[in-house]
Structure 1
Amino acid sequence: MAPLVWFITGCSSGLGECFVREVLSRGDRVVATARGDPTRLKHLEELGAHTMDLDVTATQDELNSKVKEAVERVERIDVLINSAGYFEAGVTEEVTDETFKLQFEVNFFGVLKMTRAVLPYLRKQRSGFIAFIGSPLGWKGVPGSSPYVASKFALEGVAECIRGEVAQFGIRTTIFDAGNFKTPILSPERIKYSPHTIKDYADTMQTFYGIIDYLDMKQPGDPKKGVKVMVDVIRGEGVSKGKPAPERLPLGTDMMEYIRGKCNDSLALCEEWGEISRSTDFD
């Protein structure tokens, strides 16, 4: 296979950084991006990555210009990895509309705008791959995390639509539903909490804080292993050799359990309420 050119968002740490390292190790080329101080990506530049300051909350025109600049530097883009994201937590009654919007600007609209910016190039060459990073909380809501949950549920739906829309152009997509991988996303410096003032929700938030404390940097998923599988799927080699890229791929034992649990609950619901549901059809 000829070397691919990858455009990756959110590369300063976590899965994004792991993607850059894994892709470069396979001889491919990378445009690694992150928001803010460009020195945050200096270590990746030293490994051979092209680096770029990019904020996924910028306007569509600004992101289009960034992608155009990248193509001028590296000649083409074959793969888009939508890795940028963060975790906003809080009880729904207490979270402001503005906070919800900020969460969606990164986790949802940022992905949409980056996908729109790259798609014209992939359509023109009639090939390419777009990867979306899902979450257990894109399958099941957890009290105390509604902004993040909402953004990930929305991402799951739009990614399914995009897959059906772009397949005709030879463009492949996959939602990589990553379970709890050991990255800094839940660290006190990264996770954001809406102000908690309603005493009635004290127990709810204490339970949520306990979950975060339990998981932070103790997540069961190995990000290097997870990224290796994702790169295999995108390149069609290794564990994915001879297999078409799936619509979605759960990664991690915990993610598999989330999906199984949600599916089993949904089937049980259909069984229990099926007769009543069918009774609403016309005679």
Structure 2
Amino acid sequence: MSSYIWLVTGASSGQGTEIALAALRAGHRVIGTARDVDRARRTCTEMEQLGGKWIKLDVTDDNTQSVVAEAVTQYGINVIVNNAGYGLRGVLEDLSMHQVRAQMETNFFGALAVTKGAIPTFRFQRNGIIVMISSASGFSGTPSQSMYSASKFALEGASESLAAELEPFGIRVLVVELGAYRTPFQTAVEKPEQAISEAYKGTAADEAARRITAGHGRQAGDPVKAAHAIVEVVTGTGRGAELKDVFRLPLGKDAVSRASVKMTSFSEDVERCKSLAEWACFEEDYEGYPPL
């Protein structure tokens, strides 16, 4: 694409703000979404100073798909960044089903609604890029954040299928797996003493929650650098020149480390189970099935 026009959801704070500003500073046009546009204008004044625009959007609203479809047509958007989301802390036993469903509604179904709004125009024009902001926890589950991990695992699973579905139409899907970044993200998550019940004190979930909380403000991840990395990988410029065809983009030393540990563990399980797995089939060879 010769020009990039971005729609960034949840652009009023944290990593979303940095992605929007990085794209603007790179010379692109950006439409940022926020649930409260007036508040977004006050807290992120650079957005409009650099030429960006705001539109009102809550990704959990029933009209999300139509709002995005209209914006894509009106502004000529060809890059969607599904950034809106939040973290939920607590073990499954302690969480209500309302909390579980709300987490999935924002982080997973919200991203799908935004994506569905963009696909028809992207398919018609035979180009477009869909960026899913995931997490290291979307590839390697985190105790004390099981439902947050679930929402990101679901997003990554859908994205793998979407990438294959949309590739014939020239549409690219990019999954960004962020490690621990120095944004306000963790300040919105309940502290361990509030979220971890007595029965789980001293367990892996409690220890993980306390470690994450204690590390807030000292995370190794630089959100400004992450934003620049995302812009460069999307546009195939700078450090992203050789990465225009990657599907997963882990960002942060911890994201790389966690992915490596997960892949090693998974490979070991596959090798250990291979004989049993291959035994559990009919003797006949059904050529071409299942589809690979």
2:228 — aligned with what? 228
2:132 — aligned with what? 132
Per-residue deviation at 1:193? 6.8
Per-residue deviation at 1:37? 4.6
Relative to the length of structure 1, the TM-score reads: 0.91
**In the alignment, does 2:166 pair up with 1:191?**
no
Distance of 2:53 and 2:242 partners within structure 1: 31
Per-residue deviation at 1:268? 1.5
Corresponding residue SS for 1:109: helix
Q: Which runs of 5+ in 2 are unaligned?
A: 284-292
1:54 — aligned with what? 57
Per-residue deviation at 1:259? 0.8
Q: 1:20 to 1:97 in 2, by over 3 A?
A: same
2:280 — aligned with what? 280
Alignment of 1:34-183 (within 5 A): 34-42=34-42, 43=45, 44-59=47-62, 62-71=63-72, 73-74=74-75, 76-183=76-183
Q: 1:277 to 1:149 in 2, by over 3 A?
A: same
Q: Which runs of 5+ in 1 are unaligned?
A: none
What percentage of residue pairs aligned between the two structures are identical?
Answer: 34
- Alpha-carbon contact 1:178-1:252 (below 8 Å) kept: yes
Per-residue deviation at 1:72? 5.7
Query: What letter matches 1:147 in structure 2?
Result: M
Distance of 1:197 and 1:234 partners within structure 2: 39
Superposed CA offset, 1:177-228 (max 9, x none):
11111111111xx114796585321223531331222221211111111111
2:215 — aligned with what? 215
Distance of 2:243 and 2:207 partners within structure 1: 41
Distance of 1:28 and 1:237 partners within structure 2: 13
**In the alignment, does 2:200 pair up with 1:201?**
yes
| Greater displacement, 208-217 / 119-128 | 208-217
Q: 1:96 to 1:272 in 2, by over 3 A?
A: same
| Greater displacement, 190-199 / 62-71 | 190-199
Superposed CA offset, 1:62-95 (max 9, x none):
1233224424652x11100001110001111111
- Alpha-carbon contact 1:104-1:151 (below 8 Å) kept: yes
Q: 1:201 to 1:136 in 2, by over 3 A?
A: same
Per-residue deviation at 1:262? 0.5
Relative to the length of structure 2, the TM-score reads: 0.89
Q: 1:282 to 1:22 in 2, by over 3 A?
A: same
Query: What letter matches 1:209 in structure 2?
Result: A
Distance of 2:12 and 2:49 partners within structure 1: 14
- Alpha-carbon contact 1:57-1:109 (below 8 Å) kept: yes
Alignment of 1:230-269 (within 5 A): 230-269=230-269
2:289 — aligned with what? none
- Alpha-carbon contact 1:130-1:173 (below 8 Å) kept: yes
